[in-house]
Structures are given as C-alpha cells and as structure tokens.
C-alpha cells in the first residue's frame, strides 16, 4: 500500500455550493483533495456536505445565518446584503438549526471522516465598517453568536472542531502593519485580537490573497495572539492577485500569462501555508467563479468549458446530471500544479 504522510492529508479546495453540478468526486479524487469547504446559509438549502462525506472527503461547513425569520437587521437587511450573515434573534432557534444540519452527518465521524464547523465568514464590525460584506452585526454580537454556535456544535459531537470566522486577507495585511492605534490598520489588528482572545473556538481561519510572500508574516502575526491549545487553518488561498505590486497582471489583459503565473503560485502558496503550521490548507477555488468580484473570478483550478455552442454552465443546468464534471470543466495549468504539489507531499 502507498504510504501517505500527514502533509498530503491537509490539502483541499473551497467549492461553496454544488447546486445542480454533477458529482465532483472523480475530479476531486484525481486532484488529490482531502478537504472541501462548503457554505450553509441556514436557509434550508442543502450545502452538499453529506454528498462529499459519503464520497470519502472531509468537510468544513461555513455557517452563515441568513435565516430570514431569525435575524436582527439593525445594520441592514438580507435584500441589501445577500452574502451576509446576521446576528440571530433567537438563540434557541439558531442552535436548533445548527444541530439539525450537523446531527445527520455525525455518523460519518465513526467512518473516519472529519468535519469542521465554522461560524460565519470574514466578519467585520458593521457599526464601524458600513460596507461589511459578510457580517451585518457588531463584534460583540458575533462573539455572542460564536458562543451559542460552539455550544450547539459540541452537543452534536464534542470532537467536531469549531472554526472562528475567516480572517480576510486585507484585514490580515493591515493588522501586520499596525501600531494598534486608531488608524485603519490599528482597527484591523484590534478586531482580530478581540476574536482570537475572546472567542470560544478551536481553530482560527486565515485567508491568503495579495502577495505570496505576505503569507508567512501574516501567519506569524496570528500565532503571536493565538491562545495555547488552539490551531489554525486556511480555507481560502488564491492568486495571482493584481493588487499585489509584484504581480499586477489581470486575467483580462493576458489570460495565458495569468494562468502560467497562477500555476507557479500554487505550490508557493500551499507550501507557505502548511510550512507555517496550518492544519488544513484549501485553494480558492475549485472552479472559476465568474460572478465573484473581478480579482477573485479566475482563481479556480478549473474553468467552465463553454466550447462548442458557447452556452454557459447556467444554460446547461437541466442536462448537468447526465454529464460528467470532467466534460464540463477544463483543467487549467493550476490544476496540474496542485495535483503535482500534493503528490510531492506524499513522500
């Protein structure tokens, strides 16, 4: 049997949601993926965690409270902020919904799968940052929600690690440069320190975009404030990012050049992540997300194949279940770079 070292078990991708996509298992297996992150908005839509666990993958489920009957809207409503999580109105209802998602999945733990549960994505304080995209509440409200989340998860199974809200790359970048003053970078540092030191969780989540060489100092900064006994993971790590001065290339300007640079960055970014002590390192993302903000829309390892009649994936949805995912998606150079990198960590 082939011996697999611990490092090769740490890598994966973020998918978000599969919707009506065909079964991705064959492609994920070929890629060497062991972990997949999916999102659950507590809106009764399946995040496909069971589908992935059944196929043999470990999952990180990011819960965003977008339950329209159980949210506080002091800082905006779900129509204004379609991607945001909101503070719960009822702790009891919130905890029940978390348990209802996780309880049917718990038996996979006995089969050797691993599950992590994350409370919200890239929170900011909406009372200070009015543009906060993923959290429409205060830091205090988030810490209260995290506490309730922790209780709910641990009542399902105490071995499921609770993951703190992801730390946005821009916030991390500001925190590293901070003097803990009243500047924007100072506010960024204070936000992350409050989450790291006051939150009830098992692992922090660092998101890495920007420059590849920023990863190590950002990881080191977080570890300085990470309490003893807690670990960190990274559920988003992608590039190239044209906001980085050394890689100003945009996909639209030079698609082939962008994809070559992306393939070069895959091993650099994943190495920096795992070598700095992360338990899990995921690539953003599995396939290109054309509806994402421009800088993130072409960071996928796969591209939707629109060859032939030029129809988009959306136009083909009714026929998806009859097709293999490998037929619909083009493997980019970054795909092969990811696969080669993971294989190199098996020795």
pLDDT digits (tens, 9 = 90+) for 154-165: 999 999 999 999
Decide: 74 and 51 in contact? Cβ < 8 Å: no
Q: What are phi and psi of 271, to 5 degrees?
A: -65, -45
Per residue in 197-239, pLDDT (tens digit) is: 999 999 999 999 999 999 999 999 999 999 999 999 999 999 9
The mean predicted confidence, pLDDT, of the chain is 91
At 2 the pLDDT is 39
The number of beta carbons lying within 10 Å of the beta carbon of residue 5 is: 10
* Separation of alpha carbons 197 and 176, rounded Å: 17
User: Which residues does 11 contact at the CB level (< 8 Å), separation at least 6?
Assistant: 32, 33, 34, 35, 270, 274, 280, 281, 282, 283, 338, 341, 342, 345
Asked whether residue 315 carries a pLDDT value surpassing 50, the answer given is no
Per residue in 55-100, pLDDT (tens digit) is: 999 999 999 999 999 999 999 999 999 999 999 999 999 999 999 9
* Separation of alpha carbons 63 and 17, rounded Å: 12
In this prediction, residue 247 has a pLDDT band, given cuts at 50, 70 and 90, of very high
At 241 the pLDDT is 97
* Separation of alpha carbons 9 and 32, rounded Å: 9
- What is Dmax (Cα atoms) for the chain? 57
Closest CA to 320 of 334, 342, 305: 305
At 327 the pLDDT is 67
Tokens representing residue 236 in the block: 């988003």
Tokens representing residue 320 in the block: 């998806």
Closest CA to 160 of 85, 245, 98, 253: 98
At 4 the pLDDT is 44
* Separation of alpha carbons 163 and 190, rounded Å: 19
The number of beta carbons lying within 10 Å of the beta carbon of residue 259 is: 17
Closest CA to 9 of 282, 312, 329, 295: 282
Asked whether residue 45 carries a pLDDT value surpassing 90, the answer given is no
In this prediction, residue 311 has a pLDDT band, given cuts at 50, 70 and 90, of very low
- The pTM assigned to this predicted structure is 0.92
């Amino acid at each position: 049997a082939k011996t697999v070292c611990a490092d090769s078990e740490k890598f994966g991708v973020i998918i978000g949601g599969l919707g009506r996509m065909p079964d991705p298992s064959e492609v994920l297996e070929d890629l060497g993926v062991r972990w997949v992150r999916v999102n659950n908005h507590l809106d009764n839509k399946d995040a496909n965690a069971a589908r992935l666990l059944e196929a043999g993958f470990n999952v990180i489920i990011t819960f965003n409270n977008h339950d329209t009957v159980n949210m506080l809207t002091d800082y905006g409503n779900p129509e204004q902020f379609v991607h945001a999580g909101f503070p719960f109105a009822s702790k009891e209802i919130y905890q029940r919904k978390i348990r209802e998602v996780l309880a049917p999945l718990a038996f996979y733990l006995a089969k050797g799968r691993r599950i992590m549960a994350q409370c919200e994505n890239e929170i900011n304080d909406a009372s200070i940052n009015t543009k906060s995209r993923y959290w429409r509440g205060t830091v205090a409200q988030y810490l209260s929600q995290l506490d309730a989340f922790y209780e709910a998860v641990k009542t399902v199974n105490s071995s499921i690690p609770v993951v703190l809200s992801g730390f946005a790359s821009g916030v991390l970048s500001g925190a590293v440069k901070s003097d803990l003053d009243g500047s924007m970078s100072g506010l960024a540092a204070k936000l992350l320190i409050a989450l790291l030191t006051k939150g009830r969780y098992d692992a922090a989540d660092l998101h890495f975009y920007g420059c590849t060489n920023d990863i190590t100092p950002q990881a080191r900064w977080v570890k300085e404030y990470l309490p003893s006994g807690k670990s960190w993971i990274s559920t988003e790590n992608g590039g190239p990012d044209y906001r980085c001065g050394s890689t100003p290339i945009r996909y639209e300007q030079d698609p082939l050049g962008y994809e070559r640079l992306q393939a070069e960055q895959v091993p650099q970014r994943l190495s920096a992540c795992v070598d700095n002590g992360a338990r899990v390192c995921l690539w953003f993302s599995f396939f290109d997300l054309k509806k994402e903000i421009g800088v993130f829309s072409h960071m996928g390892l796969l591209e939707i194949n629109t060859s032939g009649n030029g129809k988009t994936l959306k136009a083909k949805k009714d026929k998806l279940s009859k097709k293999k995912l490998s037929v619909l998606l083009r493997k980019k150079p970054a795909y092969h770079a990811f696969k080669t990198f993971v294989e190199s960590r098996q020795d």
